[in-house]
Chains A and B, each alone.
Chain A
Amino acid sequence: MDREVFERRLTTLLAVIAGLFLVLAVRLWQIQIVQGEYFLRLADENRLRITSVVPPRGLIKDRRGRPLTLNRPAFTVSILPTELRHPEQVLPEVARKLGMPVPEIIAKIDAAGDRPFEPVRLRRDVPKEAIAALEEDRMDLPGVLVQVEPVRDYLYGTLAAHLLGYLGEINDRDLAALRTQGYEAGELIGKDGIERIYDRFVKGRHGQIQAEVDAQGRPLRVIAKIPPTTGDTLTLGIDLDVQKAAEDALGSRVGAVVAMDPNDGAIVALASHPAFDPNLFATGITTTAWTRLLRDPLQPLLDRATQGGYPMGSVFKIVTATAALDLGLVNTDTRFYCPGFYNLGGHIFHDHEAHGNLNFLEGIAQSCNVVFWTLARPVGPDNLAKYARMYGLGQTTGVDLVQESAGVIPDPSWKARVWKEPWYAGDTLNSAVGQGYTLATPIQVARLLAAVANGGRLVTPHLVTQITTPQGQLVRRVAPPATGEVRLNPQTIAVLRAGLAAVVTRGTAASIQIPGLAVAGKTGTAENPHGKPHAWFAGYAPTDSPRLVVVALVENVGFGAEFAAPIVQRVLQVAFDVRPAPHP
């Protein structure tokens, strides 16, 4: 290349670089000379405040689009550590106006020590009067920030509390893990229920306000504003009417109700009593309210439908019957004689009544213990456990809730491991009728019954059926696949269904017949060491093409037919919109 070309190019290079430097100089002129005074003012007073805007959480709706939660605007009072000039004057004043102790405020500010630019929320949902008092003395309270933030409003109070869950302030560990996903210090996140499981969908995205403020911290002018993005809407399989019916029917008794579509596992109602009011948590729960909930002997925070393990009582006979049928030990017409007791090597097991001569189907319908005790020994403990596990007992169902209990399915090796004792023949008898060591949750029982109702599929129970944007665009359809298959021949299932139908047509639950709706089910009365037996009823309807499984459990009341079956009857009436049977 020619030297002259080279030198020309060097000159061009010099010109380009000089040009770029000139651009810098012009820019410096612009911000230092032209806009200098403006920036000087911002700098001198550090008057640029950037605050995060909390987005409204996504709504939660029932299957027909009726909202279960809303958001309402409320005042939040925070401290901005960078602007807090005279804490010794400001903090006691704020404490007095908010009615909270000064040390609590100081503790909150200290906890946020390394984040001086983020407001430290002192109290949410502050009453208007307190806000008015604060605003009056605004001039003397630099560093105090009043913001309007959306607060979760659970429209029906305690209704469906366990499945909805509750909110709580994000803790440091979660914050460290979630900061990159847009979570901020002091914000409320789901701590339980679907609020927790689906938090990343419903939380929305923070907006931001960049404002110029005066020496007292009062905003003068908004420089930039990015609105927050509302979280996605969750649509549940829950039907508000059915949920209400379930909770009304349960009333003040301690227990749980699960209603589920046996074909896809969508939960239509999930009740547990006693419950709590999630609104208590919506603004950050007070210590006293929290302690009261934790110390309540009835454990209102416990979701009995998914976290409570109970002996199944006679409902377990469905498993025993399945095993006996599948192993070819019985058929519909196998005949039994029930004298009202069963003699196991000199040890007498008493049935609740003497059923006399009866076939296997009647044995199911009348819930005759002697029939199942007779079958228990040929089936054997290992087969009982095997069929129970096939039905999904002893494992979590995978429902979209936290801390689901897996229950217990005992067998000889389990007893040797846990109790360090051999398995006795009496244990087999007890297991066959749902007494003894077996523990199951109402939702497991619902899934078991769904498998009978749908021909053997173990569906995955789920609350959320779809997630949509606030504008209604589909984000995700939630339809978890079945977790397994109960491999049974059609004949076995047909006999089981006939037996369960007989329970309601002429058996132990004949009292809950619903005109115009054929119901099948099984009663259970589970004896337990804590008082009266737990009452169970697990049923589905209509019998020919089941569309709803309903399981009711009531703790320590008595017979399943008397206390649990009417709850299921009430739920079915509402779900299928049939008028209540006239009481004679």
Chain B
Amino acid sequence: MSALAGPPLPQPGGPARLFRNVDILLLLSTLGLIGFGLVMVYSSTHVSTRPFLYLRSQALHLAVGLIVGGLILAIDYRAFASSARILYVVNALLLGAVLVPHIGRSSLGAQRWIPLGPLGQFQPSEIAKFVIIITLAKYLTDRPGPYQSVWDLAPFLGHVAIPMLLIFKQPDLGTALVYGAIFIGMLYAAGARRRDLATLGAAGLVLVPIFWRLLKEYQRRRLLAFVHPTLDPLGSGYGIIQSKIAVGSGLEWGKGLFAGTQGVLRFVPEHHTDFIFSVIGEELGFVGAVVLLSLFLLWVYRGLRIAAVARDRFGALAAVGIVSMVAFHVFVNVGMTVGIMPITGIPLPFISYGGSALMAMVWATALLLSIGMRHQRVGIGFDASPAPAHLIRSMRGPERHEE
């Protein structure tokens, strides 16, 4: 292993030096993605009587996200570990509240929002992903293994299952699946045996027929439409077909920013939220799409590097969870717009219009940066839950890099 291991690390200094340890590439790629997103949100919504309506709302949420993100960056990430239990309970309560009539608000057949007056609506399931990464990382730290059978993984499965089922009930199939990706990614990194994870995956497949019956009619239609888009070309298949036309028509260089027709006009549904990538593909072409994917890949690479150098098991696993979440989002979302994944209503991180999702992504990145810049002992000696390997590493020092 070497790709993710960094160069020799500078020695600890005071709090002022802390920010020098910020992972610049991660920060830049994040800012690049956010900027990209703002431009695309504007591009896909400006044909209207109020061209800045969506952009303004997105920018407002971004501002709130950045302020809170700054706070997350400032406090030691291990504070999250110690408040994991409270976070978990509050999160479950919020998710439950969405399902309660009069509190939760439904739209498009799903009950996902809590109205927050002038701030618009708040979608707890977006924040919940972020929370569950923290609590699962803490839980995995408290029970460090080794995990020698599938039963050793059961408690973690239960830990994720509660919020997952609450979200599934909203119903938000896509977000519930993100939990699966976070779970697999984090447990794999935490040392679960491949065989056991495969068993869980197989068990999940066995449960498919049961979940199939629990799905709403429109969800079933979407999945069927994915398998066979022509089955319902005007309904669920319509989005897939029109999205493919939009993306495909972008060719190498695209039709130019703000020059798209398929996405901006009404042909592609949800073109500023879930299907924003079809606008990107149409307007910026293959080159633009690959640039975007490269930005994401850079982000993922830096995120995993932070996991590799994290000072403790909690930080390392939280970093893996965040990266798994983002990567899964990107793959499923883009895959959906190009017709290789089913439509599940998962937004494109940093890009899609949607305040809660954007804020959650900014906070997740802030946490990632926070883990990264505290990768070595700084100030107060506090390490509640060291990864066993960390001790080995600090004992062995820099010579590890020569392996």
Q: Is the CB of B330 within 8 A of A21?
A: yes
Name the one of A25, A116, A180, A208 contacting B293, with C-beta atoms under 8 angstroms: A25
Chain A residues within 8 Å of B191, by CB? 1, 5-6, 9
- Interface residues in B279-304 by Cβ distance below 8 A to A read 281-282, 285-286, 289-290, 293, 296-297, 300-301, 304
Do A39 and B4 touch (CB < 8 A)?
A: no
For A29, list chain B residues within 8 Å (CB): 286
Question: Do B286 and A33 touch across chains, with their CB atoms under 8 A apart?
Answer: yes
Closest CB-CB distance, B27 to chain A, in whole Å? 19
Interface-central residue, B244, B248, B262, B403, by most chain A CB under 10 Å: B248
B301/A27 in contact, CB under 8 A:
no
The interface residues of chain B lying within 8 Å CB-to-CB of A1 are 144-146, 190-191, 387-389
Are A24 and B338 closer than 8 Å at their CB atoms? Answer: yes
List, in ascending order, chain B residues with CB within 8 A of A28's CB. Answer: 247, 281, 286, 289-290, 338
Residues of chain A contacted by B72 (CB below 8 angstroms): none
Instruction: Name which residue of chain A comes closest to B232, CB basis.
Output: A208
Binds B, one of A45-53, A269-277, A298-306, A389-397: A45-53
Complex-state Cα separation, A18 to B249, whole angstroms: 25
A224 to B297, CA, bound (A): 37
Q: Which residues of A contact B289 (CB under 8 A)?
A: 25, 28, 32
B251 touches A24 (CB 8 A): no
B245 x A43 contact (CB < 8 A):
yes
Cβ of B252 and Cβ of A31 under 8 Å apart?
no
Interface size on A, residues (CB 8 A): 49
The yes or no answer to B327 lying at the interface (CB within 8 A) is: yes
Compute how far the CA of A18 lies from the CA of B303 in the bound complex, rounded to whole angstroms.
13
For A580, list chain B residues within 8 Å (CB).
Answer: none
Instruction: Name the contact of B331 in the complex, choosing from A12, A24, A31, A223 (C-beta under 8 A).
Output: A24
**Contact in complex: B234, A52 (CB < 8 Å):** yes
Q: Check if A39 sits within 8 Å of B252, measured CB to CB.
A: no
Which one, A5, A8, A23, A208, contacts B234 given CB within 8 A?
A208
Q: How far is the CA of A24 from the CA of B296 in the complex (A)?
A: 12
Is chain A's binding surface mostly helix, strand, loop or mixed?
A: helix
Asked if A357 is an interface residue, CB under 8 A from chain B, the answer is: no
Are A46 and B267 touching (Cβ within 8 A)? yes
Contacts of B323 in A (CB 8 A): 13, 17
Contact A36-B249, Cβ < 8 Å, known A50-B238, A226-B230: yes
- Residues on B with beta carbons closer than 8 Å to the beta carbon of A50: 233-234, 238
Give chain A nearest CB distance to B143 CB in angstroms: 12
- Taking the complex as formed, is A573 at the interface, i.e. its CB lies under 8 A from any CB of chain B? no
Residues of chain B contacted by A334 (CB below 8 angstroms): none
Interface size on B, residues (CB 8 A): 66
The residue of chain B having its C-beta at the shortest distance from the C-beta of A52 within the complex is B234
Whether a CB of chain A sits under 8 angstroms from the CB of B368 is no
Closest residue of chain B to A208 (Cβ to Cβ) is: B233
A50 to B242, CA, bound (A): 11
B262 neighbours in A (Cβ, 8 Å) = 43
Task: Give B1-22 interface residues, CB cut-off 8 Å to A.
Answer: 1, 3-5
Measured between beta carbons, the chain B residues less than 8 angstroms from A10 are 1, 4, 189, 304, 307-308, 320
Residues of chain A within 8 A (CB-CB) of B245 are 39, 42-43, 48
Whether B128 is near chain A, meaning CB under 8 Å from some CB there, is no
Q: Is residue A106 contacting chain B, with contact meaning CB distance below 8 A?
A: no
Which residues B294-339 have CB closer than 8 A to chain A? 296-297, 300-301, 304, 307-308, 316, 320, 323-324, 327, 330-331, 334-335, 338-339
**A106-137 interface with B by 8 A CB criterion:** 116-118
Q: Which residues of A contact B124 (CB under 8 A)?
A: none
A14 within 8 A of B: yes
Write out the residue numbers on chain A whose beta carbons fall within 8 Å of the beta carbon of B266. 116
B5 touches A7 (CB 8 A): yes
| A14/B390 in contact, CB under 8 A | no
Q: Does A332 contact B (CB under 8 A)?
A: no
Q: How far is the CB of A387 from chain B (nearest CB, A)?
A: 51
Q: Are B340 and A23 in contact (CB under 8 A)?
A: yes
How distant is the Cα of A42 from the Cα of B261 in the complex, in angstroms? 12
Given the complex, which residues of B lie within 8 Å of A35, measured CB to CB? 248
Known A24-B334, A50-B238, A224-B230; judge A39-B244 contact (CB<8 A). Answer: yes
Which residue in chain A gives the minimum CB-CB distance to B309? A7
Task: Tell me, yes or no, whether B54 is within 8 Å of chain A by CB.
Answer: no
Residue of B with least CB distance to A4: B1
Among B146, B233, B308, residue most surrounded by chain A Cβ atoms (within 10 Å) = B233
A28-B281, A36-B250, A116-B266 known, 19 other contacts, Cβ within 8 Å:
A1-B388, A4-B389, A4-B403, A6-B191, A6-B387, A7-B1, A9-B188, A10-B1, A13-B324, A14-B304, A21-B293, A24-B293, A24-B331, A24-B338, A31-B338, A33-B251, A36-B249, A40-B251, A42-B245
24 contacts across the A-B interface (CB closer than 8 A):
A1-B191, A1-B388, A2-B392, A3-B389, A3-B392, A5-B191, A10-B4, A14-B300, A17-B331, A18-B300, A21-B330, A21-B331, A24-B293, A24-B330, A28-B247, A28-B338, A32-B248, A36-B248, A36-B252, A44-B249, A46-B267, A48-B241, A50-B238, A208-B234
Binding site for A on B (CB under 8 A): 1, 3-5, 144-146, 185, 188-191, 217, 230-234, 238, 241, 244-252, 261-262, 266-267, 281-282, 285-286, 289-290, 293, 296-297, 300-301, 304, 307-308, 316, 320, 323-324, 327, 330-331, 334-335, 338-340, 387-390, 392-393, 403
Enumerate the 7 nearest inter-chain pairs by beta-carbon distance, A residue then B residue, closest first. A39-B248, A3-B389, A224-B230, A43-B249, A7-B1, A1-B191, A31-B248
